[in-house]
Amino acid sequence: MSLLQSTQLRPDASASAARRAFIRAWPEFQNPVAWLVALILVIMPLIANGFFLIEIFGTTLILGIIALSLMFLAGYGGMVSLMQLTIAGFAGYMVAVFGVSANTNISLGWPWWLATPMALALATLFGTLGGALAVRTEGIYTIMITLAIGAAFYYFTNQNWAIFNGHTGINTVATPQFWGVDWRSDIAFYYVILGVAAICYFAVQYVSRAPFGLALQGVRDNARRMAALGFNTNAHRIAAYAFASFVAALGGVLQVWNYRQISPGSVSVGACIDILIIAIVGGITRPIGPFIGALIFVLLRTFALDFLVKVGLDGNRFRLLIGLGFLAIVFWSSDGVIGLWERWRRRDASAGARPGGGRHG
Amino acid sequence: MDSVAQRLSAVGAGAALELRGVTRLFGALAALTDVTITVRPGERRAVLGSNGAGKTTLFNCITGDFPPSSGTIRFFGEDITQFPPYERIRRGLRRTYQISALFPGLTVQDNVYLACRGVSRGRFSFLRPGQNDALMHATETLVQAVHLTTVKDQRVAELAHGQQRQLEIALALAGAPRFILFDEPAAGLSPTERRELIEILTSLPAHIGYIIIEHDMDVALRVVESVTMMHNGRIFKEGLPREIESDPEVQELYLGGGHE
C-alpha cells in the first residue's frame, strides 16, 4: 500500500501513467491525420457549397452511420446482418408516420421531438426482434435470415397502403424547426449529421473496449468458450443487435430528414446490399472503415456517371465501377481500404524506423 | 438464499460433484454409459483411459457443452443437469480444453479480463474499466500467476503453444472457482513447462478440487489423490494412485493399449 501511494505521489509518474491509459483508451487522439480530418469536417461549410455539403458529405456520413452499425455487428460480433438498412428505413418510415407529412391521412402529426424518439425506439425494437431470430443461426444462415427480413419489409411497404402508402411512399416529411433555426437548411443540417456521426463513431469505438464490446469479440472468436466462462452468448448477441439497431435507426432518421420523403425504393434489397458493400470496401475491422467506404460509394455514385459518359460509355453503368472496385478490394485486401492503409503505414514505419529509430505510431 | 447448512443437508454427503447414471449418446453410439462418480470438495482426481474412453465427453456433460442424454449431475448439492453452461460456470465450475479454446483476436490481458468478467457482474457494462477497477487487478494477478506478464499486450494468436496452454489454465482460475476440470493440460508442453504446470496445480488453494485428464502418468499421478479409470464409456476402476498404477488389469488395458 505504501509503495502504491509513493508512486502516486510523484506527479510525473501518475501523469504519464494517466496519459498512457488515455492513449490506450482513445488511440485516435494520438493520430495527427485524425485531427486533420476532424478539422476539415468541422470547417467544411466554409469550403464546400450546398451540393457538396449535403449531397456528398452529408450523405456519406448518413450511409456511414448505417454501415457503422453493420461494422459493429460483423467486425466485433462476427454477425453479417443485411437488414441494417431495413432498420434505418423502418425508423425513417416511423418518423414519417408519427410526424408531419403531406400524406395527412397517414401521418399522425406528432411534433418531431415526440415522433423521433418513438421512431428510434420502434426501430430498435424491430432490429432487436430480427436479431433474436438471427442469433439462432450462424454464418451464411444469418445472412439469409436478415436478407429475408429486408426483402419481406421491402415487399410489405410496397403492398401496404394503410401505413406505408404503398409504392408511392410518404412525401414532404416535415423536418425540425426550433430556436428560430431551420435544421434542414444546408449548414445546420450538415452539423446535425456530423454531430450524430461523431457520437455514433465514438460510441462504437468506446464500447469496443468496454466489457460489453470485449465480450462480443470473445463471442466472435469462440462462443463455446465464452459460455464456459460464464457468458450467456445469445443474450450478448441480441444486445449487440439492439445497440446496432439504435445506431442504424439514427442514420435512418437523418436519411428521411435529408430526402424529406421515404418510399419502398429507399429500403430495397439493392440498397441493403449497398450497405454491405460500403462496409466491406471501407473495412470492418475499425469504425472508421464504413465512413471511408461510404465516401468512396457516394463519390462513385455521383461522379461515375459523368466520368463514364466522358469516356464514351453508358452513364448508368456506375454500378459496374463499384462492382469492379468491390472485387478488387476483396481480392487484394480482405479488410478493406483501411487494411490497405494500415499495411502501407506499417511498411512505411518499418522502413523509417531503422534509420530514424524514434518513430512510433 | 439457502444457508450453507441447508445446502449441505440437501447434498447428503456434501459432495462437490455427484454424477448419477450419466449416459450420453451420439446417435446410436454411447460415448458414456451409466457413469456414477462422487467427488468430495477439495478432492483431486485423475481420469485415465485410452482414446475414446469417454473422458472428454464426461467433461462436456459436466459443463453442459453437451448435456447428458440421461442421468443427473449435482454440483455442491444443486441439480445442474438442465442448466446451460454459463449457469454452471457462475456457480464455481471451471474447465480447460484439450485443444486451446482462446480468443485469438484479443490480447492476453483481454482474454483473462473476459474470464474474470464472466463470473462477476457487469457482463453487459458499456463503461470501460477505470484505473482502479477490481477486475483489472484480478486480471494482473492471474496473468502474473501463469508467468505471462511479459506478453500481456500481445494478441493470443501470436503466442507460443506453451504460453497458450498457460493462458488456458489462467482462464479457468478466474473468479472464485470451487471445482475445475482440466482436460490434458500438459499436452504438447516441454519438460520445463510440465514442471511449472505441476507447480501451479499443487499450489492451488486446498478448497479447490479438480478432475484432470492426463495421459502423462508422471504428471497425473503426482497431482492427484484418487484415480478413476475409464474404458469404452464406462467407469472401469476407481482407487488410489498407487493401487491403479500397480493394477495388472489397468496396466494391460491402458499402458499396453493406450496409444494405438
For chain A, give the percent of residues with pLDDT over 70.
88
When pLDDT is cut at 50, 70 and 90, the band that residue A76 belongs to is very high
DSSP conformation letters of chain B: ---HHHHHHHHSS--SEEEEEEEEEETTEEEEEEEEEEE-TT-EEEEE--TTSSHHHHHHHHHTSS--SEEEEEETTEE-TT--HHHHHHTTEEE--SS----TTSBHHHHHHHHHHHTSS-TT--SPP-TT-HHHHHHHHHHHHTT-GGGTTSBGGGS-HHHHHHHHHHHHHSS--SEEEEESTTTT--HHHHHHHHHHHHTS-TT-EEEEE-S-HHHHTTS-SEEEEEETTEEEEEE-HHHHHH-HHHIIIIIIHTT-
Q: Which residues on chain A are in Cβ contact (under 8 Å) with B110?
A: 214, 217
**Digit-coded pLDDT (tens) for A12-21:** 455 566 666 6
What is the structure's pLDDT at A356? 39
Q: Which residues on chain B place their C-beta less than 8 Å from a C-beta of chain A? A: 63-65, 84-86, 89-90, 94-95, 97, 101-106, 110-111, 113-115, 117-119, 122-129, 131, 171, 174-175
**Digit-coded pLDDT (tens) for A313-361:** 776 777 777 788 778 877 877 778 888 888 887 777 766 554 433 333 3
Nearest to B208 by CA among B179, B185, B170: B179
A122 in Cβ contact with A94 (< 8 Å): yes
User: Taking residues A120-132, what's their average pLDDT?
Assistant: 94
Q: Which stretches does DSSP call E strand in A76-227?
A: 177-178, 181-182
From the list A212, A214, A227, which residue is nearest B106 (CB)? A214
**A39-53, A145-159, A263-277, B107-121: segment of lowest average pLDDT:** A39-53
Minimal Cα–Cα distance from A358 to chain B, Å? 21
Indicate whether A248 pLDDT > 90: yes
C-alpha cell at A30: 494520438
| Residue owning grid cell 524506423 | A353
Q: Which residues contact B254 (CB under 8 A, 6 or more apart)?
A: B48, B49, B50, B229
From the list B65, B111, B174, which residue is nearest A224 (CB)? B65
Q: Which residues on chain B are in Cβ contact (under 8 Å) with A212?
A: 123-126
HEC letters along B24-37: EEECCEEEEEEEEE
Minimal Cα–Cα distance from A95 to chain B, Å? 28
From the list B64, B104, B115, which residue is nearest A229 (CB)? B115
What is the structure's pLDDT at A361? 33
When pLDDT is cut at 50, 70 and 90, the band that residue A198 belongs to is very high
Q: Do A214 and B105 touch (CB under 8 A)?
A: no
Q: Which residues on chain A are in Cβ contact (under 8 Å) with B89?
A: 227-230
| Whole-number Cα distances in Å, A357 to A278, A342, A354 | 37, 20, 5
Interface test with A, best of B110, B123, B168 (most A CBs within 10 A): B123
* Beta-bridge partners for B30: B25
Who has greater pLDDT, A326 or A284?
Answer: A284
Q: Is B100 left (phi over 0), alpha (psi -120 to 50) or beta?
A: beta
Total count of residues recorded for chain A: 361
What is the structure's pLDDT at A186? 79
Rounded to 5°, angle at Cα B74 from B72 and B79: 75
Give first-to-last CA distance, chain B, whole Å: 51
Rounded to 5°, angle at Cα A115 from A112 and A117: 105
Who has greater pLDDT, A223 or A138?
Answer: A223
What is the structure's pLDDT at B124? 86
What is the structure's pLDDT at A306? 80
A72 in Cβ contact with A243 (< 8 Å): yes
Helix (H, G, I), strand (E, B) or coil at A2: helix
User: Taking residues A301-317, what's their average pLDDT?
Assistant: 77
Minimal Cα–Cα distance from A329 to chain B, Å? 22
When pLDDT is cut at 50, 70 and 90, the band that residue A4 belongs to is very low
Q: Which residues on chain B are in Cβ contact (under 8 Å) with A217?
A: 103, 105-106, 110
What is the structure's pLDDT at B235? 87
**Tell me, what amino acid is at B251?**
Q
User: Taking residues A132-141, what's their average pLDDT?
Assistant: 87
**B91: exposed, middle or buried (C-beta count within 10 Å: 0-12, 13-18, 19+)?**
middle
What is the structure's pLDDT at A176? 81
User: Taking residues A182-208, what's their average pLDDT?
Assistant: 89
Q: Do B63 and A228 touch (CB under 8 A)?
A: yes
- Other CB atoms within a 10 A radius of the CB of residue B118 amount to 25
What is the structure's pLDDT at A304? 78
pTM for this model (two decimals): 0.83
Rounded CA-CA distance A342/A348 in Å is 10
A173 in Cβ contact with A261 (< 8 Å): yes
| Domain ranges for chain A | 54-267
User: Taking residues A40-67, what's their average pLDDT?
Assistant: 86
Q: Do A229 and B65 touch (CB under 8 A)?
A: no
Output the tens digit of pLDDT for each of chain B's 260 residues: 455 555 544 444 588 899 998 999 998 888 889 999 999 998 999 998 888 888 899 999 999 989 899 999 999 988 998 899 999 999 999 999 988 889 998 999 899 999 998 888 888 888 878 777 888 888 888 888 888 888 888 899 998 888 898 899 899 988 889 999 999 888 888 888 888 888 888 888 888 999 999 887 778 888 898 989 888 888 888 888 888 878 887 777 766 544 44
Q: Which residues on chain A place their C-beta less than 8 Å from a C-beta of chain B? A: 17-18, 21, 25, 206-207, 209-212, 214-215, 217-218, 220-222, 224-233, 236, 239
**A90-94, A257-261, B249-253: segment of lowest average pLDDT:** B249-253
What is the structure's pLDDT at A357? 37
What is the structure's pLDDT at A252? 94
Indicate whether A61 pLDDT > 70: yes
B32 in Cβ contact with B233 (< 8 Å): yes
Who has greater pLDDT, B189 or A67?
Answer: A67
H or E element: which one contains A270? helix A269-282
Q: Which residues on chain B are in Cβ contact (under 8 Å) with A228?
A: 63, 65, 85-86, 89, 94-95, 97, 101
User: What angle do helix axes A186-209 and A288-310 make, rounded to 10 degrees?
Assistant: 130
From the list A17, A214, A239, which residue is nearest B114 (CB)? A214
What is the structure's pLDDT at A22? 66
From the list B97, B103, B118, which residue is nearest A230 (CB)? B118
Rounded CA-CA distance A283/A278 in Å is 8
Q: Do A231 and B63 touch (CB under 8 A)?
A: no
* Beta-bridge partners for B181: B95, B211
Interface test with B, best of A23, A212, A225 (most B CBs within 10 A): A225
What is the structure's pLDDT at A42? 80
User: Taking residues A235-262, what's their average pLDDT?
Assistant: 94
Q: Do B114 and A218 touch (CB under 8 A)?
A: yes
Minimal Cα–Cα distance from B63 to chain A, Å? 7
What is the structure's pLDDT at B11? 46
What is the structure's pLDDT at A75? 92
From the list B63, B97, B110, which residue is nearest A214 (CB)? B110
C-alpha cell at B13: 454427503
